[in-house]
Amino acid sequence: MKRFFQQWLHSLNYPDPVQQQQAQIMQGILLGSFMASTGALVVPFVAPVTSIQAIVIAIAIGAAIAVFLSALVLLRRNYFKLALFGSVFGLEFFLIVMLLGTGLADSGAIIFGLAVPMALASLLSGRKLMFVVMGVGLVGLIATALAEALVPQITGFAKPMDKNYGGIIGGYTAVALVLGLVLARYSKALSTALSTARTRQTELEQLQASLEQTVAERTATLQNTLAELKQRAAEQAQLLEANQQQAVVIRELGVPVIPLGGRRLVVPLVGQLDQARLNTIRERVITAVVQQRARQVLLDVTGVPLVDVHMAGELAAVIAATSLVGAETALVGINPDVAQGLVGSGIDVSRLPAFASLEQALNS
């Protein structure tokens, strides 16, 4: 039975976690108020009042019990606001009726009890409802005072015939228990909420620290990668420059210009002559002629396997260019294939100095 009751208590299902906590607090208050009111049903019949007064008080208490039960049913069906309004205003109406029945002079515990609905409204709803409940209670006090002054016959129907110390003490105890229950439940919920907030704050701080560490690590990795890329780019630039320098050296080595005595230059050519080498030959020969004031340039084509029409035209351009800067150019080491290529190109070979070997050219 106890286990079933505990399951029933925790079976509230509100989507909002805050409202879930408030609903649990209100459920405990309603159950406590219901049990206190049920126990208070015997008080009128043992108090120093007439039978009619006892019945009237019991009816008022029964009405309060019905209000608490109705509010509990609404709360269990997820009508939180309706349950709150019903319990707050129902309890305040019951207290105002009891205030009217006992009169202001003998209503110390009841006036103190008017703080209960205000506390409920303040803790479970907010200031707006609290001020409304406070206003309704003030109107009830003023109405009771006016009724006692103007229509005294409708007041005092539950006034004790003798000093009702038991009723005062019992009323104070009931009110104090309800308020204590409200504040205790709210304090527990607040403590739980604060503990949860602290836990989440700690988790957020840890997550933030982890994110900052991750960002720092990623930033350091990116900086290292960027530094490596810069270093590689610099190395590649150096390699490219070295390659360019090597290409220049190779081009120069591929077209050597050898100075001889008597202001002569020998240019030995070996291998296939493509357009790049032909351009280099023209540039190197003209530059060497100008710098060394050469009078004769010997183009040794012994190592050239074949001269086509295009190559023959380029060689003729070299010969013409050197003649413009004051040097005579002769071809050395012409083999049959090269000779046929020169003749087939259409160049006037009759005016082209040529030697069968370098030795013959040097002895000429």
pLDDT of residue 222: 92
Superfamily name with CATH number, domain 255-363 = STAS domain (3.30.750.24)
Per run of 10 residues, the mean pLDDT along the chain (length 364 residues) is: 70 78 78 77 68 76 83 86 84 78 68 78 80 86 82 64 56 64 67 80 89 90 91 88 75 76 85 83 87 88 79 82 87 80 70 78 76
pLDDT of residue 276: 82
Whole-number Å distance between alpha carbons of 122 and 116:
10
Q: Report domain extents, the chain.
A: 2-206, 255-363
Whole-number Å distance between alpha carbons of 26 and 75:
8
Q: How far is CA 254 from the centre of its chain?
A: 64
Convert the chain into a string of H (helix), E (strand) and C (coil): CHHHHHHHHCCCCCCCHHHHHHHHHHHHHHHHHHHHHHHHHHHHHHCCCCHHHHHHHHHHHHHHHHHHHHHHHHHHCCCHHHHHHHHHHHHHHHHHHHHHHHCCCCCHHHHHHCHHHHHHHHHHCCHHHHHHHHHHHHHHHHHHHHHHHHCHHHCCCCCCCCCCHHHHHHHHHHHHHHHHHHHHHHHHHHHHHHHHHHHHHHHHHHHHHHHHHHHHHHHHHHHHHHHHHHHHHHHHHHHHHHHHHHHHHHHHHHCCCEEECCCEEEEEEECCCCHHHHHHHHHHHHHHHHHHCCCEEEEEEEECCCCCHHHHHHHHHHHHHHHHCCCEEEEECCCHHHHHHHHHCCCCHHHCCEECCHHHHHHC
Answer yes or no: are the C-beta atoms of 158 and 57 closer than 8 Å: yes
Whole-number Å distance between alpha carbons of 59 and 157:
13
pLDDT of residue 168: 56
Answer yes or no: are the C-beta atoms of 364 and 355 closer than 8 Å: yes
Whole-number Å distance between alpha carbons of 311 and 304:
11
Type of residue found at 59: I
pTM over 0.75, yes/no? no
